[in-house]
Structure 1
């Protein structure tokens, strides 16, 4: 299962406007709401997950995620915050690249596989470096996602 099957240009924010962690999570959730999910319930689930421990995994990356009952399939959004945002990341460095993942609560396996795929993309390719190197449009980010994800095969 590839991320390019779950993400399109429509679900990429090339520059987040929010100034706080909660603001950017709301902004990303509003985008995912276009997939017909309950944004309020899903954001609540994301915030509950964040309360357990930050999903700022380090190296300028966060993967806020949650499982909810009211969706049919995995939903993913990608966003960039060039100047970084305080996210209580494991390494204390502000987050610049975010992947938001919302999954049906009955699809734990797919949820975990998607988290693993995101992690591999960030760790094993030049995706993050290319995205953060310059200001890009959503279509540019999607093209880089396609190129870098193909390297994982």
Structure 2
């Protein structure tokens, strides 16, 4: 599944205040829970943090793709965030992260999870994509840029 299919205007946030990896995961979890009544922020946070403990989801070039599978999740959910300032994310290349795509999928959606992760990694490996996303100045522009990439 393409990440553009998972995003909505309310799931694209430009200039998100980060601070630290843990704080970004916590705030993202709260946002996901607020927009998806069947999910609890603590459950989402635990899932994302648990995955990070297995190894950083910082894929390099300032991009991170935190993700997890959750029992109470009904549909795949994607959130695209640009940070106001880059943060340390223990990325494989050691560079700080300012582009984050968070993915939460139903526990049984293993194939969809892996396909979406592969699609996201491929998309974010392109310098032109990263540059276009970083050059947005508000949520609407960020959503428009990412949506247009799928056309």
With normalisation by structure 1, the TM-score equals: 0.91
Q: Structure 2 vs 1, CA of residues 132 and 144 (structure 1 numbering), >3 Å: closer, same or farther?
A: same
Task: Indicate how the Cα distance of structure 1 residues 60 and 48 shifts in structure 2: closer, same or farther if over 3 A, else same.
Answer: same
Q: Give the equivalent residue in structure 1 for 2:140.
A: 139
Which runs of 5 or more structure 1 residues have no equivalent in the other structure?
A: none
Aligned to 2:41: 39
- Structure 1 residue 117, shift from structure 2 partner: 1.5
1:101-136 deviation line (CA, Å, top 9, x unaligned): 111110101111111121122124722111113x52
RMSD of aligned residue pairs (Cα, Å): 1.4
Cα distance in 2 for residues equivalent to 1:40 and 1:23: 13
The answer to whether the 8 Å contact 2:18/2:84 transfers is no
For residue 150 of structure 2, give the secondary structure of its aligned residue in structure 1.
helix
Q: After superposition, what is the alpha-carbon deviation per residue over 1:11-66, rounded to whole angstroms, capped at 9, x for unaligned?
A: 11211213111111111112211122222111101101101111001110000001
Give the total of aligned pairs: 149
Q: Is the CA contact 1:78–1:97 (under 8 Å) kept in the aligned structure 2?
A: yes
SS at match of 1:14: strand
Matches within 5 A, 1:116-127: 116-124=118-126, 126-127=128-129
Any idea what the Cα deviations from partners look like across 1:67-122, whole Å, max 9, x if unmatched?
11011111111111142000000000000100011111101011111111211221
Q: Supply the distance in 2 between the matched residues of 1:114 and 1:69 (Cα, whole angstroms).
A: 18
- Aligned equivalents of 1:129, 1:149: Cα separation in 2: 16
Q: Quick one: distance in 1 between partners of 2:126 and 2:82?
A: 19
Q: Which residue of 1 aligns with 2:50?
A: 48
Is residue 56–residue 87 contact of structure 1 (8 Å, CA) maintained in 2? yes
4+ runs of 1 displaced by more than 4 Å? Answer: none
